[in-house]
Amino acid sequence: MIRAFLIDDEPKSTAILKNKIERFCPEIQVIGNTQDPQKAKQLIEEVQPDLVFMDVAMPGMSGFDVLSQFNKPTFEIIFVTAFDSYAIEAIRHCAIGYLVKPVDKDELVTAVANAKFNIEEKTALKKNRQLVENLEVKTFQDKKLIIPTQEGLEFVAINEILCCEGEDGYTKLYFKNRKPMLSSNSIGHFKEMLKNQEFYLVHKSHLINLNYIDRYLNEGYVIIENHKIPVSRNRRSDFLTALKNK
C-alpha cells in the first residue's frame, strides 16, 4: 500500500479527492489530510507519507512554499490545481505529477500509476529539489528540465538545448556542451515543455532554440552549429516574423 496525505484549503475538494482515491485507486491508503498549509510540514514529518496530494494555490502559503520548507523532501508529490499555466509549466519541467481541478478519474489513475513507479525508483528527492531550484530562477533559459530516460533521470539545462528532433514517437535532443540524448517522449511533449518565445517548432519533427541560429537559408533551412534543419513551407512566414520580433 502507498500511504498518502492530502493538503487542500477547501474541505469540499479534499472530500471529493479522498472519495475518488478510495473508489479508483485501491493501492492508495489515505492516512491524513489538512486544510492548513501552515501545519503541513509538521504533519507530513509526523506521518511520513509516501505520496502527498497538494493544492498549489492556498491562502498564506502555496503548495510550492510548503515544499520549499523541506531540506530533504523524499515523498512523491501530485500537485492538484485549478488551471494555472505558470504552476503547470514549473511542475512539468521537473517530471512531477499534477491534476487539474475538477479531477478526472482517468487522469487520477494515470497520475497514481506514475507516482507508484517513481516511488519504487526513489526519484522524488532529486525532482523536488530541482522544482524548488527552478522556482527561484527568473529566466526561462536558466531553468532545468528533468527528462526520464531508460537509464534514469537526466537533468538538462534549457540554455544548453540546441534543437530537438522527433522520430517514431521518440525525441533526440542535441546540446551545446554534451552528447545527444534520446527520450521516449514525443516532439509534441517537448513543444509543450519548452513553450516559450525562445523555442520554435519549425517543422512537425524539429524544435529549435532561437538563441543558437547561425544562419537561415532562403531554400528553407536553418543552420545551428553543424545541424541543417528544414523549415516547413507553411511555417516560414511566421518563423521569420518570430525571428524579427525576438
pLDDT digits (tens, 9 = 90+) for 36-47: 999 999 999 999
- Residue 245: pLDDT band (50, 70, 90) is confident
State yes or no: pLDDT of 195 exceeds 90: no
- Retrieve residue 74's grid coordinates: 523524499
Angle, alpha carbons 190-81-7 (nearest 5°): 125
pLDDT tens digit string along 45-99?
999 999 999 999 999 999 999 999 999 999 999 999 987 778 888 998 998 999 9
- Neighbouring C-beta atoms of residue 145, cutoff 10 Å: 21
Distance CA 246, CA 242 (A): 6
So what's the pLDDT on residue 179? 93
Domain boundaries, the chain: 2-135, 156-245
So what's the pLDDT on residue 190? 94
Same fold, 2-135 and 156-245: no
Distance CA 176, CA 162 (A): 6
pTM of this structure? 0.80
- Residue 206: pLDDT band (50, 70, 90) is very high
Instruction: Please state the CATH superfamily assignment of the domain spanning residues 156-245 in this structure.
Output: LytTr DNA-binding domain (2.40.50.1020)
The fold adopted by the segment(s) 2-135 is Rossmann fold (3.40.50)
